Structure 1
Amino acid sequence: MAKQLKTPARATSPSTNKDAPLKEDIRLLGRLLGDVLRDQQGEAVFQVVENIRQTAVRFRREADVQAGAELNKLLKKLTKEQTISVVRAFSYFSHLANIAEDQHHNRRRRAHLLAGSAPQEGSVAYALEKLHGAGVTGAAVRKFFKDALIAPVLTAHPTEVQRKSILDAEHEIARLLAQRDLPMTAKERAENTERIHARVTTLWQTRLLRYTKLTVEDEINNALSYYRMTFLRELPALYEDIEGEIAEQYPQRSSGGNTYRDLPSYVQMGSWIGGDRDGNPNVNADTMQLALARQSTTILDFYLEEVHALGAELSVSTFLAGVSPEVNALAELSPDTSPHRADEQYRRALIGIYARLAATARAFGAINILRQEVGPGKPYQAATEFSSDLLILVDSLKARHGDALIKPRLANLLRASEIFGFHLATLDMRQSSDVHERVLGELFNRAQVESAYASLPEDKKIELLLAELNEPRLLYSPYIDYSDETNSELAILRTAQDIRQRYGSRAIRNYIISHTETVSDLLEVLLLQRETGLLRTEANHGSAGAGELMVIPLFETIPDLRLAATIMEQVMAIPLVRKLIAKQGDLQEVMLGYSDSNKDGGFLTSNWELYKAETQLVQVFNNAGVKLRLFHGRGGTVGRGGGPSYEAILAQPAGTVNGQIRLTEQGEIIASKFSNPEIGRRNLALLVAATLEASLMPHPSDSKHTKKLAEFENVMDELSELAYQAYRDLVYETPGFTDYFFSATPIAEISELNIGSRPASRKATRRIEDLRAIPWGFSWGQCRLLLPGWYGFGSAIEQWLAQGENKAKRVAILRAMFAEWPFFATLLSNMDMVLSKTDLAVASRYSEMVVDKKLRNSIFKRIVGEHERTSSCLTLINGKKERLANNPLLARSIKNRFAYLDPLNHLQVELIKRHRTEMRDGKVDERVRRGIHLSINGIAAGLRNTG
């Protein structure tokens, strides 16, 4: 808040002037927040905020013991009302700083474009230029786009902290802030400032938190807001950008035409929200129906709006420009018979299209069509019919000198219809393998086929499942009563079939099996599909089998990842399965879990086991003649597979991408990436660029490179084993570690927070094994240790260096791995970022909440020691004493946040201490709980990738 909440002084550098507008924006937003705080809470509260900020800065900069004591005193003196106000002030500053940074990223990109700079790394133009330079032909690029599937999949999880009301207010602040880069009169600038002030006031007077438990319906609606903000317009626009960039880099074409509109929709959206029932009892057949109904309403509302706007724009008269017979035919089907539009066939055709869309929306259950259609229309049976009608308009305009009329709206609407259909996004289904086992066990038992299915050895399970798949009759009988779980699971599968028939086959096409550990886990889902009509086999249909849903294994833990290739080799060798894969276009998807493997084995081992599993899967799939598509279950934190998507995709082992990739986008990362439309388009472009490069850039294959890579991989095997031992020894083998974790982090308070529909733990225990990986990582982020993103690395490097006689030679190998191997470089880059956000001084305050002093000192001392080892080993390898030395912009961003982030951490500790004391005394003050939850929100916003 300008003078009141100052940005910390920054050292001058060549980029200082470039960052001056960012500092100006942060000062403006800080000043306005300070004004709002004074207006709403009074001068006394404002001064309290300033005193806390200044003392926290002194505590950080000088490691001043006296400052720590003063801070404790200040925090303890706060009344409960003051505490809430202080937490809100610092939380909102984190939110506003994010808006300013996003705007600055947009500003810098525009500056590059205006200066005519070379394409920036991560852009599609850069990827195409790089490919062209490497000798990749235009034909190869076009084939890539023809065959590719790149799918970001939005998921809900228990660290989603943004309310839609907050998102809307922040979206408007971002828009107003962007306006300030335009030339403005003094009056216009003053009015703009007043409007931002009003929006900041709106933020202050709007609840940051939900006071009621978040439902699946809330999660569905929250996700759909990003489609309205970003995806509906930015994704079709991205296609247009890419078509232009391909034409510029590869202008020669073997056939006529000047666009690449013949390319299919290679970027498609996915969703788990409403279909992911693993560990979430609130997801069922009804939520799947609700998800598709809401998705369909969202996209049809968009189409109706765009078609209405087109009707206003395409005022072409047949007296001045002709139309095709097909447009005339559409016009004749229109309910519009007004003589005033007798010569406006495009308008009449669009009025007819609008009527058909409105009828389609009503057929899907819509009751509030914003604009009443002129007359009745026949509902579209499929989205392809709608696309065909739009294409008729495009072809007619193109053939009659109307190209200029296509691009502004019609081209993007046509592309949107191809991307989103009437379903908007593909809804994945997910359930745990143990649920499938229980359901089939009951079906087998009630059908008197097998009374103890779950107890059978694996080979007998496979034998029974394959025999049953070849039986013409069903296990299920409508005349037998089943458990609620069995009825629910079968109802879900039947609903999936109904949804596909209603909204199209792309609405639901994937079934993911969590905790896949055996071949029978996949066969069980095939049999459940057979039971509900989703799978047709030769036995029950007399023809070659076909499955409507692709059955996708999810390998999550370290042991599961090690078995992934073996399981897939065995399952693809089964004739029935191989026939089904052939019907899928000889393509099979495999999902890899980053979160659970990290919680299970630590950062280094998780990443290495994922890498090895991928390379082994590539070999197995190549031998089977099947194309592999990997689905990366990445979270927001580095400890859950997060970090920059571009670098992560390029670091994939050779042969693992091949134009096919799906990856999850989760929690607050969705807001970070997609709440700003321009940044959203760039993040989508990053996925395309990285997939393009990873798929088509030639990989060195000479014997020297192969030998060196083998050496690097052998070293990683040794490092991984050492890191695994260090991590497991702390987390799973140290007596009292669970007590330390539950005391020294806000995990208990996070579990109470109304930010997700899913429980934080799979079982009602305090065992870390049962805790979900998401709140596990989120808790470590809140206390500023971010332990899942680095622990074990330092011990592994130190021990490995000590094992050899020639330490200098071993150091040289590590440095070569960092310089020459993208996988290792990305691993260290992500860890560098995590370490830059780690703060031992702040974390020490959290450790004070551990009542057992001996336990506290013992474990925290080990964590501090490992942090020091990891930092020094990272410096040894990359040669940089300062964290993020190769990314000064991010380093400054993180450093500038600490002055506002640290007070939130200190306040959170104080509030948790109060709350836990009150809990022990049987008294719970809702104001204290609210303060804790507000601090969780602010810290998550400040760190940006903690979930």
Structure 2
Amino acid sequence: MKISQKKSAFHNEVLTRFDLYKSLFLTLPFRRVKHTGTILPFFTTHCEKGIEAQLAPEDIIESFFGQYEQYVQEKDRVDFLFRIVQYIERQVVLFDAVEDSAFQTIGKTEEAGLLQTLFQRAQESPELKKKIVDKLHDFSVRLVLTAHPTQFYPGPVLAIITDLIEALKENDVPNIQQLLQQLGKTPFINKEKPTPVDEAASLAWFLENVFYKVASEIQSKIDSELEVPIEEVKQLIELGFWPGGDRDGNPNVTAESTKKVAAMLRTILFRCYYRDFRVVKRRITFRGTEKYLDTLQNLFYENSFNPKENPADETAVILENLNAVKDVLNENHDGLFVDLVEDLIRKVITFGCYFTTLDIRQDSSILRNTFQYLIERYPDTQVDAEQFAKGEAEKQQGMPFSELSLTYEEDADKLVKDTMDVIGLLKQIQQSGSERAAQRFIISNCQQASDILGLMQLFLWSGWKKESLTIDFVPLFETVDDLSRAADVMRSLYTHPVYAEHIKRRGNKQTIMLGFSDSTKDGGYLMANWSIYKAKIELTAIAREYDVDLIFFDGRGGPPARGGGKTQKFYASMGKEIANEHIQLTIQGQTISSQYGSLETAKHNIEQLIQAGMVSELQQKEGDTLTPRQKEIIDQMAQESHRKFMDLRKHPLFLKYLETLSPLKELSEVNISSRPVKRNSDRELRLEDLRAISFVTSWSQLKQNIPGFYGVGTALRWAEDNNLWSYVRNLYENSGMFKTIIDNCMMSMTKSNFNLTAYMQKDATFGEFWTMLRDEYELTKKYTLKLSQTSELMEDYPVDRASILAREEIVLPLLVIQHYAIRTILNKKNVSAEQEAVYKKLIGRTIYGVVNAGRNLA
């Protein structure tokens, strides 16, 4: 589809339909809603004109109220602003639903149908078909759902969106009107902060309603296209889960919540199985199947509605009986309804008795504290504490790998207790759902090989045995410094005799997680991208040297500033120097709801990841493997960008600007997550303690999106000044990795709007600082447009650009209201404590709407 056609399709199918259905809000039987909807266009226009005139938010709001006699009292004004927020929140939901309902029609991405095209070519080429089948035997895609708070729709609203999408596809106006009424009465906020179990239950909605169906459908399609017998099927799509297991910086996650989540996932899965089984049983009423069906009926029902405390793994029994039913159908009943049985078999092969692998994550400092606690209290650990404290070499040599069953005293630190409790709990979870139920322990802030070896030793001190240690230890390298040391850390592990034996028992596989969020916060956008890419090359070379099957697990969040954006293009552009046999990445917040929230979008995006993994090996472009000279140039640009970003970080106003002008403080008070906004929440804010999500979200609320572009313009100008522009142009045209970095940067800038805060340039305290940020934005815009040879940001992605601009227009009044409330509190002109609390609540509500509308935030 040509660019002009794409624009036209989006305008007709999304923007026009949104305007039509938006008018239905005015017909709802809520008087206050109708009044708000009538006045909102005037308020929006007033905000747009005020921003264009570079007015401060308080001037925009006050001049608007000056036109209306009914808004004299402050109480009436604040009430009106709250109603505007609530109305726009629901408009955002409608826009989401309209856009998603048009997914097939608008050809949202140029990648649509590429996997099918690849399979069609395979049918014409036996050689290509064999290559694809061989590749699939060693390939998998794992999507790991996290509870990171980057999307705020509560469960009931997600369900309404799903129903609304279906109604919009049918243009079912009466049903749409009813659903909008339901939306009008459904709360968008939680009264209390969710617990880790609440978060897990919320995300389980996607497991049950989307992934359970889509994973099987895609697997079936691929098996059918490539004519792979079901008995030879290898699990292609895997799921991972962090809520209830990710305790890094979240003291609310305990062994008890981990246990509850594991049990809940198992129960939800069996209810999915039971629903499918009832269809099977209704259709298969033939002789010879009775005893197998009776066994399955009892097994599915009891595990669904009467779950035991510590159940057994029933996967083998389920498959044995399903295969027996299948055999009877094929042998005696002409294979009638065998497709229903095969579908259930495929789901059981994929999900077992666990549904999704529950990952455990904890910070290395907590694990070190636990190790220290045990060696101080138990002489029989065989660790010489004095020798052990000397340095890294002594730590590695002094690890005894003794097998003991140690316990903690009641006075032990609660995080020490939790660490030991969850290590013991993992064995129990595996017994209930197989090894795949919980087999990974991720070490955040991993800085040295002893962090991994020490955790392995903790398992051996908690009753586990070396020969049956069915756990994968996954280092997470995230900061720029940690990424630069990652290769040395892994070499130490691969050459350590005990660890080498362990990964040999684990199939010679090693998973390494490379985080993005803290890399951006730590070193800026370009340096974060390059550091991860460079680390992947180094880590791949070492893994190949020691014959280790390396799996990269990417902590790539929704927005480009957190590693997201055009994710499938990133994976398709891995060159020969990077292991790409397995694609594993985190998905969270808006990424879950926008890219995996419906059957259609989930199917599309998972297929694109599969296709990207195939293409990166089978149809690899020569330009995706960088030459030494290209690496040198990118490295130099990354250094220039890093220097620019570090100068910003060291600026005395950096944190003060963010704390004062963005809703950073209010983020900690909204009930969106069980996790604190920052680590060490009891002390003064430091950048290293501030969570990357809060960091990125705060900049996105300012519409400045610093983590997604700052320093890129400086780096590109440096390249031009040093006569390297032709090299950079060549990189953009031929390196998928580099092009994706630049295109994602332009996405971040498209979601920026410095006009919103233009009034700040005259501010006595922050005026120069704001100007510095705006100047780098303009510089980056100038050079990215020159590099891409386009006249506007995201010109080559017209549908995505149109979607972003439409969403930005919808939430513009929310941003004005938010900044008005922030400045009202700052100025404190006759603002009582009670009034301040109301304005803080108003700020919190605007955060919800802006984040939900942004989908990918920045």
> Aligned partners of 2:45 and 2:105: how far apart in 1?
31
Q: How does 1:234-633 map to 2 (within 5 A)?
A: 234-247=214-227, 259=229, 262-316=232-286, 318=287, 323=288, 327=289, 331=290, 334=291, 349-361=292-304, 364-365=307-308, 381-400=313-332, 402-403=334-335, 405-407=337-339, 409-448=340-379, 449-451=383-385, 455-465=389-399, 468-469=400-401, 471=402, 473=404, 476=406, 482-534=412-464, 536-537=465-466, 545-633=467-555
> Aligned partners of 1:639 and 1:939: how far apart in 2?
17
Q: How does 1:636-655 map to 2 (within 5 A)?
A: 636-655=558-577
The letter for the 2-side match of 1:432 is D
> Aligned partners of 1:201 and 1:434: how far apart in 2?
50
Instruction: State the secondary structure of the residue aligned to 2:437.
Output: coil
Task: Tell me the CA shift for residue 825 of structure 1.
Answer: 0.6
The letter for the 2-side match of 1:276 is D
> Aligned partners of 1:916 and 1:453: how far apart in 2?
54
> Aligned partners of 2:533 and 2:120: how far apart in 1?
28
User: Does the C-alpha gap of structure 1 residues 363 and 495 become closer, same or farther in structure 2, counting only changes over 3 Å?
Assistant: farther
> Aligned partners of 2:354 and 2:647: how far apart in 1?
48
Equivalence for 1:374? none
The letter for the 2-side match of 1:523 is L
Question: Are the aligned partners of 1:777 and 1:786 in contact in 2 as well (CA < 8 Å)?
Answer: yes
The letter for the 1-side match of 2:564 is G
Structure 2: unaligned runs, 5 residues or longer: none
> Aligned partners of 1:917 and 1:160: how far apart in 2?
30
Equivalence for 1:945? 856
**Residues 533-579 of structure 1 deviation map (CA, whole Å, 9 limit, x = unaligned):** 23x23xxxxxxx34211011000100000011111011110111111
Equivalence for 1:171? 162
> Aligned partners of 1:14 and 1:363: how far apart in 2?
52
User: Does the C-alpha gap of structure 1 residues 793 and 388 become closer, same or farther in structure 2, counting only changes over 3 Å?
Assistant: same
> Aligned partners of 1:120 and 1:622: how far apart in 2?
32
**Residues 783-830 of structure 1 deviation map (CA, whole Å, 9 limit, x = unaligned):** 21111000001111222322x3xx3xx222111110011111111111
Task: Tell me the CA shift for residue 699 of structure 1.
Answer: 5.3
User: Does the C-alpha gap of structure 1 residues 17 and 630 become closer, same or farther in structure 2, counting only changes over 3 Å?
Assistant: closer
The letter for the 1-side match of 2:146 is T
Equivalence for 2:41? 50
Task: Tell me the CA shift for residue 14 of structure 1.
Answer: 7.0
Equivalence for 1:773? 692
Q: RMSD of the alignment, in Å? A: 2.8
User: Does the C-alpha gap of structure 1 residues 623 and 136 become closer, same or farther in structure 2, counting only changes over 3 Å?
Assistant: farther
Equivalence for 2:833? 922
Task: Tell me the CA shift for residue 147 of structure 1.
Answer: 2.3
Question: Are the aligned partners of 2:357 and 2:438 in contact in 1 as well (CA < 8 Å)?
Answer: yes
User: Does the C-alpha gap of structure 1 residues 657 and 103 become closer, same or farther in structure 2, counting only changes over 3 Å?
Assistant: farther
Task: Tell me the CA shift for residue 356 of structure 1.
Answer: 2.1
> Aligned partners of 1:877 and 1:744: how far apart in 2?
33
**Residues 272-329 of structure 1 deviation map (CA, whole Å, 9 limit, x = unaligned):** 110110000011111111111110110011111111221111233x4xxxx5xxx4xx
> Aligned partners of 2:630 and 2:4: how far apart in 1?
39
- The question of 1:28 aligning with 2:20 is answered yes
The letter for the 2-side match of 1:94 is V
Equivalence for 1:792? 711
Residue of 89, 92, 100 corresponding to 1:102: 100
Equivalence for 2:191? 211
> Aligned partners of 2:53 and 2:422: how far apart in 1?
57
User: Does the C-alpha gap of structure 1 residues 447 and 722 become closer, same or farther in structure 2, counting only changes over 3 Å?
Assistant: same
Instruction: State the secondary structure of the residue aligned to 2:633.
Output: helix
User: Does the C-alpha gap of structure 1 residues 166 and 121 become closer, same or farther in structure 2, counting only changes over 3 Å?
Assistant: closer
Equivalence for 2:754? 840
> Aligned partners of 1:458 and 1:920: how far apart in 2?
56
> Aligned partners of 1:639 and 1:763: how far apart in 2?
24
- The question of 1:74 aligning with 2:64 is answered yes
Moved more, 303-312 or 557-566: 303-312
User: Does the C-alpha gap of structure 1 residues 684 and 428 become closer, same or farther in structure 2, counting only changes over 3 Å?
Assistant: same
Question: Are the aligned partners of 2:216 and 2:347 in contact in 1 as well (CA < 8 Å)?
Answer: yes
Structure 1: unaligned runs, 5 residues or longer: 1-10, 113-118, 181-191, 248-257, 335-348, 368-378, 538-544
**Residues 745-777 of structure 1 deviation map (CA, whole Å, 9 limit, x = unaligned):** 111111111101001101232111210111101
Instruction: State the secondary structure of the residue aligned to 2:552.
Output: strand
Equivalence for 1:254? none
Larger radius of gyration: 1
Question: Are the aligned partners of 2:483 and 2:535 in contact in 1 as well (CA < 8 Å)?
Answer: yes
> Aligned partners of 2:461 and 2:317: how far apart in 1?
32
> Aligned partners of 1:97 and 1:473: how far apart in 2?
58
**Residues 689-723 of structure 1 deviation map (CA, whole Å, 9 limit, x = unaligned):** 1122223334549xxx97x7222111101000000
Question: Are the aligned partners of 2:27 and 2:34 in contact in 1 as well (CA < 8 Å)?
Answer: no
Moved more, 643-652 or 219-228: 643-652
> Aligned partners of 1:13 and 1:478: how far apart in 2?
67
Aligned length: 842
**Residues 490-527 of structure 1 deviation map (CA, whole Å, 9 limit, x = unaligned):** 11100111111122111101010000111111101100
Question: Are the aligned partners of 1:232 and 1:416 in contact in 2 as well (CA < 8 Å)?
Answer: yes
The letter for the 1-side match of 2:367 is H
Equivalence for 2:810? 900
Question: Are the aligned partners of 1:145 and 1:263 in contact in 2 as well (CA < 8 Å)?
Answer: no
> Aligned partners of 2:449 and 2:283: how far apart in 1?
57
- The question of 1:831 aligning with 2:770 is answered no
> Aligned partners of 2:148 and 2:65: how far apart in 1?
32
Question: Are the aligned partners of 2:575 and 2:620 in contact in 1 as well (CA < 8 Å)?
Answer: no
The letter for the 1-side match of 2:24 is L
Task: Tell me the CA shift for residue 619 of structure 1.
Answer: 0.4
Equivalence for 2:91? 93
Equivalence for 1:690? 612
The letter for the 2-side match of 1:302 is C
**Residues 413-434 of structure 1 deviation map (CA, whole Å, 9 limit, x = unaligned):** 1111111111110000111111
Moved more, 821-830 or 39-48: 39-48
Task: Tell me the CA shift for residue 479 of structure 1.
Answer: 7.9
Task: Tell me the CA shift for residue 108 of structure 1.
Answer: 4.0
The letter for the 1-side match of 2:560 is V
Instruction: State the secondary structure of the residue aligned to 1:945.
Output: coil
Equivalence for 2:628? 710
User: Does the C-alpha gap of structure 1 residues 240 and 75 become closer, same or farther in structure 2, counting only changes over 3 Å?
Assistant: farther
Task: Tell me the CA shift for residue 676 of structure 1.
Answer: 1.4
TM-score for the superposition, normalised by structure 1: 0.84
TM-score for the superposition, normalised by structure 2: 0.93
Task: Tell me the CA shift for residue 143 of structure 1.
Answer: 2.2
Question: Are the aligned partners of 1:131 and 1:693 in contact in 2 as well (CA < 8 Å)?
Answer: no
Question: Are the aligned partners of 1:639 and 1:777 in contact in 2 as well (CA < 8 Å)?
Answer: yes
- The question of 1:856 aligning with 2:766 is answered yes
Residue of 777, 781, 795 corresponding to 1:885: 795
Question: Are the aligned partners of 2:268 and 2:304 in contact in 1 as well (CA < 8 Å)?
Answer: no
The letter for the 2-side match of 1:143 is D
User: Does the C-alpha gap of structure 1 residues 120 and 631 become closer, same or farther in structure 2, counting only changes over 3 Å?
Assistant: closer
Residue identity over aligned pairs, in percent, reads 23
Moved more, 690-699 or 519-528: 690-699
User: Does the C-alpha gap of structure 1 residues 361 and 456 become closer, same or farther in structure 2, counting only changes over 3 Å?
Assistant: farther
Q: How does 1:728-743 map to 2 (within 5 A)?
A: 728-731=646-649, 733-743=650-660
Question: Are the aligned partners of 1:517 and 1:560 in contact in 2 as well (CA < 8 Å)?
Answer: yes
> Aligned partners of 2:309 and 2:462: how far apart in 1?
28
Moved more, 439-448 or 354-363: 354-363
Question: Are the aligned partners of 1:216 and 1:757 in contact in 2 as well (CA < 8 Å)?
Answer: yes
Equivalence for 2:82? 84
